[in-house]
């Protein structure tokens, strides 16, 4: 989820910086720059992306409906992405989903707060930040700030009345662009992002069987007669050698890794999805130990994180999945 957070954070930050600058320095319809094919022009809208609205609803009703929809979409989006990460979906899909999430958050912030923190912008007056007279709209009723527009036109010989018309006349913002890019990539690369249903069902069944094996493989820290491919390997030596990490908690982390190895024994036909299901289950078990580390004035920070990640990479390589990136193996980590 950290990658999702940073992608979302950076896009929302850029989106809001540009919007705040435009809102606080320009009047409605003012042109900031014009490069011939692309320009910045300040407009506000109460609708969806690219200024679209709900035609069959009154403006106020449509506005609050869209704001609530964005809020629900953001909340559900976070849970959806988290769930997909646990399932081991492709990085490209997670990036695209993050772009859509960031765009929804960016426009949600406009509608939620701009009406409160800014006075009204007109064609003659620039909005005032935290005006003594208050804002121009109540909470969740503010207008979305748009500023970018492509001004290229169709050649004069184009049929259907397109000649001389703008190719893409809509005014948009960074949030709109983020949503559009994410959706377009998903549509174009859907065959790569979404496996066929037979493979998904097979992977799901394989994962369930593997998870049952994981449960059966649980051991305690005193086991000494367990034999597996890495039984001679000394797990987490870096953490054991550092007094910052309590040995009894490092033992618990080691047991999780050994349980993972035992679940993988004799699983020659295990799919990538099923393997990732097991590594994510192991990662989740280590996540639950964070509070224990904190209780002992310790934490799973940089050194521990790298040591644990190295062990996951070793296990993956040992059991025939060395081509999987380590960050994908532990994608659901909280440390």
DSSP 144-172: EEEEEEE--B--TT-TTTTTTSBSS---B
Confidence at residue 81, expressed as pLDDT on a 0 to 100 scale:
87
Co-location of 310 and 167 in the same domain: no
**Based on the domain organization, do 300 and 315 belong to the same domain?**
yes
Tens of pLDDT, residue by residue over 32-66, are: 999 999 999 999 987 655 555 556 667 677 777 88
Q: For residue range 206-252, what is the model confidence (pLDDT) as tens digits?
A: 445 555 555 555 544 444 455 788 989 999 999 999 989 999 999 99
Q: How far apart are the first and last CA of the chain?
A: 10
Burial of 121 (0-12, 13-18, 19+ CB in 10 A): buried
Catalytic-residue membership of 176: yes
| DSSP 8-state assignment for residue 34 | E
For residues 302 and 224, state if they share a domain: yes
- Looking at the structure of the chain, the number of domains it has is 2
**Which of the two residues, 266 and 148, has the higher pLDDT score?**
148
Query: Do residues 206 and 95 both lie within one domain?
Result: no
pLDDT at 196: 42
Query: From the centroid of its chain, how far is CA 207?
Result: 24
Same domain, 43 and 86: yes
Q: Is 325 exposed, middle or buried (0-12, 13-18, 19+ CB in 10 A)?
A: exposed
With a cut of 90, say whether residue 175 has pLDDT above it. yes
Query: Measured between alpha carbons, how far is residue 95 from residues 81, 130, 176 in Å?
Result: 10, 35, 16
Instruction: Output 181 or 269, whichever has higher pLDDT.
Output: 181
Q: Specify the length of the chain in residues.
A: 335
Which helix (H) or strand (E) is 44 found in, with range? strand 38-45
Domain annotation covers residue 162: yes
pLDDT tens, residue by residue, 110-134: 999 999 999 999 999 999 999 999 9
Residue 335 inside a domain? The answer is no
> What is the pLDDT of the chain when averaged over all its residues?
86
Q: How confident is the model at residue 11 (pLDDT cuts 50, 70, 90)?
A: very high
Residue 55: how many other CB atoms lie within 10 Å: 7
The verdict on 232 and 181 lying in the same domain is no
Q: What percent of the chain shows pLDDT beyond 70?
A: 86
| pLDDT tens-digit readout, 84-99 | 776 667 788 889 999 9
Same domain as 288, residue 266: yes
How many angstroms from the chain centroid is the CA of residue 243? 35
Shared domain check, 295 and 203: yes
pTM of the predicted protein model: 0.59
In percent, the amount of the chain with pLDDT more than 90 equals: 58
Of the residues 15, 110, 133, 176, which is catalytic?
A: 176
| Domain-ending residue, one of 149, 175, 193 | 193
Interval 281-294 mean pLDDT: 93
Count the helices and strands in the chain (H runs, E runs): 13, 3
Q: What is the 3-state secondary structure (H, E, C) of 109-145?
A: HHHHHHHHHECCCCCCCCCCECCCCCCCCCCCCCCEE
Residue 251: domain span: 197-329
Q: Lowest mean pLDDT of 22-31, 70-79, 175-184, 266-275, name the range.
A: 266-275
Same domain, residue pair 188 and 209: no
Q: Tell me, what DSSP letter sits at residue 49?
A: G
Residue 51 lies in a domain: yes
Are 305 and 239 part of one and the same domain? yes
Out of 139, 158, 193, pick the residue that ends a domain: 193
Concatenate the DSSP letters of all residues of 235-302 into one string: TTHHHHT-TTS-HHHHHHHHHHHHHHHHHHTT-TT--HHHHHHHHHHHHHHHHTTHHHHHHTT----H
Final residue of a structural domain among 193, 217, 252: 193
> Looking at the predicted structure, is the pLDDT value of residue 205 above 70?
no
Q: Quick check: is 174 in a domain? A: yes
Residue with tokens 């049952």: 212
Q: Are residues 10 and 105 in the same domain?
A: yes
3-state helix, strand, coil in the chain (%, to 5): 55, 5, 35
Q: What is the pLDDT of residue 2?
A: 80
Annotated catalytic residue 198: no
Q: Which of 15, 110, 146, 213 is catalytic?
A: 146
Residues 46 and 96 in one domain: yes
- Return the structure tokens found at 320: 């025939």
- CA–CA gap between residue 135 and residue 123 (Å, rounded): 17
Residue 43 within any structural domain of the chain: yes
Q: Residue 198 — very low, low, confident or very high, per pLDDT cuts 50/70/90?
A: very low
Whether 84 is covered by a domain: the verdict is yes
pLDDT at 204 over 70: no
């Amino acid at each position: 989820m950290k990658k999702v957070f940073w992608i979302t954070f950076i896009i929302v930050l850029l989106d809001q910086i540009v919007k705040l600058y435009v809102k606080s320095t320009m009047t409605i319809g003012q042109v900031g720059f014009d490069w011939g094919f692309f320009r910045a022009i300040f407009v506000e809208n109460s609708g969806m992306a690219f200024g679209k609205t709900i035609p069959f609803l009154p403006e106020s009703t449509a506005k609050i409906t869209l704001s609530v929809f964005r809020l629900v979409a953001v909340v559900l989006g976070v849970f959806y992405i988290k769930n997909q990460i646990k399932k081991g979906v492709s990085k490209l899909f997670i990036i695209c989903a993050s772009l859509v999430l960031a765009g929804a958050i960016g426009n949600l912030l406009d509608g939620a707060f701009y009406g409160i923190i800014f006075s009204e912008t007109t064609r003659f007056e620039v909005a005032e930040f935290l005006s003594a007279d208050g804002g121009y709209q109540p909470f969740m009723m503010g207008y979305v700030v748009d500023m970018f527009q492509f001004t290229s036109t169709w050649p004069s010989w184009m049929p259907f009345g397109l000649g001389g018309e703008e190719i893409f006349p809509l005014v948009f913002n960074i949030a709109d662009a983020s949503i559009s890019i994410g959706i377009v990539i998903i549509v174009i690369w859907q065959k790569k992002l979404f496996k066929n249903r037979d493979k998904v069902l097979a992977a799901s069944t394989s994962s369930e069987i593997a998870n049952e094996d994981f449960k059966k493989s649980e051991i305690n820290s005193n086991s000494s007669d367990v034999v597996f491919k890495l039984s001679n390997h000394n797990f987490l030596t870096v953490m054991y050698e550092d007094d910052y990490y309590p040995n009894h908690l490092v033992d618990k982390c080691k047991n999780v890794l050994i349980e993972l190895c035992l679940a993988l024994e004799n699983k020659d036909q295990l799919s990538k999805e099923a393997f990732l299901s097991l590594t994510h289950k192991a990662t989740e078990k280590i996540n639950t130990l964070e509070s224990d580390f904190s209780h002992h004035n310790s934490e799973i920070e940089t050194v521990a994180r790298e040591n644990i990640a190295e062990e996951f990479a070793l296990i993956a390589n040992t059991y025939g999945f060395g081509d999987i990136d380590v960050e994908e193996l532990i994608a659901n980590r909280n440390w």
